[in-house]
Structure 1
Amino acid sequence: MKLHWLKFLSLSSFFFLFSAYLLYSEVNLDEGRDIFRTQCASCHNRNMVDDLTGPALGGVQERWADWPIEDLRYFIRFSQRMIEEGHPKAVQLWDQWRPNIMNNFPNLTDDEIDNILGYIDAVYKGEYGAPAVAVTDRVVVEEEADNTLLFISLLFILALLAVILARIASVLNSIQKAKETGSAPRTKGILDILTSKTAIGILIFAAIVMGGYTTVNNAIDIGRQQGYAPQQPIKFSHAVHSGLHQIDCQYCHDAARRSKNALIPPTSTCMNCHTAIKVGSEYGTAELVKIFASIGFDPNTDQYIEDYEKMPMDQIAAIYKEWIESQYVRANDLMFVDAAGREEVERQWDEVVASLTHEDRDHVAGPIEWVRVHNLPDHVYFNHSQHVAAGNVDCATCHGRVEEMEVLAQYSTLSMGWCINCHRQTEVQGFTDGNEYYLQAYKKYHDALSGGDMQRVTVENIGGLQCQACHY
């Protein structure tokens, strides 16, 4: 009898473990990672341990263990609705994190939510993610070593040898003529050699070559803006947003994965976080009030102002000056604003007006006019989605360590040579993971890889250097 019970328990344990394995293996952690980065990472810390705008998500399923998984899925889709319905866990979270409102995600399927939860759990337990690889491994670097001193030294040595050889030739000619005529002719000195027709001709030729080289080199640099870092209307720090808070690039520039252009995010994207975060960590109210003034958000009431575009500027000024003043009083632990505070209020509002208006725009309402940093010539075609989604190219490959930039600057030359070098060096993603398109369109490369004739397939191999790829 005991033996039967042991068999039953063993089989039951095996069945349970096997079922758990199947359930876990069905979770797509890579998909969960992608969705988390684009939908969740702006408010929740990617290390799953530390709080951010929202709570740390590590262990979220354990914290919801007293309720069915359907409740957690429903909360992810419609958090505010669930709070209004009085669900005890939802109300508890709202009491802890108000007034931060979680976005609704009604389009997420059960499988997608499970993938996100699986990814969160795997990261939290250290079961997902390879050791970080330095981005510089994939960054195409144009190393331009300064060889000017070497070239000048070689030119000097060659010129000296030419003069010495010319002097030796002159002496030998004099000796030869002395033997033939019996009298020694005058030997040419160094000055005679340097002022001869041959020397002058060589100098003129060298000047033409150097002039042509300088002209072409300077012409190539026309329109290139490597290192260009213009002053923006708002002091937006990528180091704070992308670096400190680890907001994914594609949360703000969400068109990069689905469009030709990455697009500058609209102000409404900023407001996803800044309806809750209304005072900056470095500039206080000075920069965020520009965002509020451009979109018509009243931080005093947490409401958007109706008919904001038609509101007179003096009424708008009163709203935002009141906000700046109240925050100054709170920050300095005062009962009322002092003279320095009134001066600060006026200074900040003057900066708002200067940043959002100009001779062709007399009202602060409207889009923020960011200064474009990266700009290719009109005859060049570049598609972000082709590189980001299909090519899986990291943003830092072209844009550098944006997460370390206080002021955004152009990292790469974005020259034709730079792009060509990248296409020559970059391995095509997909030849080793069963991509059906590559299997059918480039069978010869698959055969070459399988036979050991090729070690990798680069963008150059699939037409990345053809003129019409970028110029059509």
Structure 2
Amino acid sequence: MFNMGNKGLFALVLTLIMLTTFTSGAQEGESIFNSKCATCHQPHKDMTGPKLFEVRQKWEEGGAMEGSLHQWVRNWQVAAATDPYAKEVSSWAASSMTTFADLTDEQIEAVFDYVDAQPKEEAVTPGDTGGNSGTSTPVEEESLGWVWYVLGAVFLVLIISLGGTKRQLQEMDEDNDSYIKVGSKAWIFKNRKYVGMGVLVVVMAGVVWLFLGLYQIGVVTAYQPSQPIAFPHDVHAGINGIDCKYCHNSANKSKTAGIPTTNVCMNCHKQVQGEGDQVEKIKKIYASAGYSPEGGGKYSGETENIVWNKVHNLPDHVYFNHSQHVEIGGIDCKQCHGDMTKQNALPRVVPVEELNEIEGNIQLTKPTLTMGWCIECHSEKEVSTGSLEGKGGYYDEIHKRLLENDESLYEEYLEDGKVTVSELGGWECAKCHY
């Protein structure tokens, strides 16, 4: 019979409590860093933004006001207006930091704790081509460091428990009853049914906690990278009423929606030169196109690339076609991207709760851009509100085959007044996965 003793039981409970507290805080810091910071920052390397290792210590040594660093993360302009050190920091780089007004002090501290816990990268070894240095985009990966803490805790408990077991075996005599005659041993044996149930509950809770953590891998809800130009969608799509497909002109005929070239911008901005803070943004467009508005305007032929940061990268094993959804499915852009006519902030992965608030959107429950989100939409969105006839080659053929081979199945599809994507095979793995 295995018995870890009072000390072993106490050590197990204490270790589990400490481990749960530490890993939850560390995982939160890592998750926030990967979703909001990693596009521009690394712990030990300057990128678009400076390295973040021991940034709290740097601000303290630099004479920053208390709470100024937290305010900088939430809104750097406010911090620069109230703290001389923050104002000095704001002059170090030409690019502006994205604001994160929703982060609490605890979440910001969790990010800094995670960053400070990261070891410095190994030097480049002989034979390393260094092809990724200086130009690579940070890869959002889940750290497995917590696994070592779990294994360490398990070994610690085993060592304590085996030590207690050894002492107990030495005290045992030939009568097995002597093993359970006094103290906590007797209580545990007497209440072994409840103790067993308690252990089962703890084990099940651990399994549930593990799977809940796994379910968060790849979830990038609310991710919002910085951009070289703070493009106001509400001005272009809202106030000026420019159709989405004027700029993203391949959305209805290609797999990707496309990012507009500078030439598309220049169609309007040869004449529209902006007012106030708009002037500096439009100057970046002119620099990219090699255009000078002076003297009636002329092109120099010297162009500069505008490097936009992707909001979401589709996994390599997943197939998605914009034109299929826009043309055949009739999906409005706001179903996935939100109402861009009211969006002044930089593009981001819009949470499903916000998407559900938009009039006309299909009400979904799974996190945006996850597999569950797509499957749920496929079960709710119709391809047709009636017969498939006249929908185009692929669907016309399905219409023909159903009538010829299984008309009753077709009638079953139409019972609710619509033919959904899932009814036509939209839940088959091979439809979306290579």
- State TM-score, norm by structure 1: 0.44
Question: Greater relative contact order: 1 or 2 (C-alpha under 8 angstroms, separation 6 or more)?
Answer: 1
TM-score (structure 2 length as normaliser): 0.48
**Which structure: larger Rg?**
1
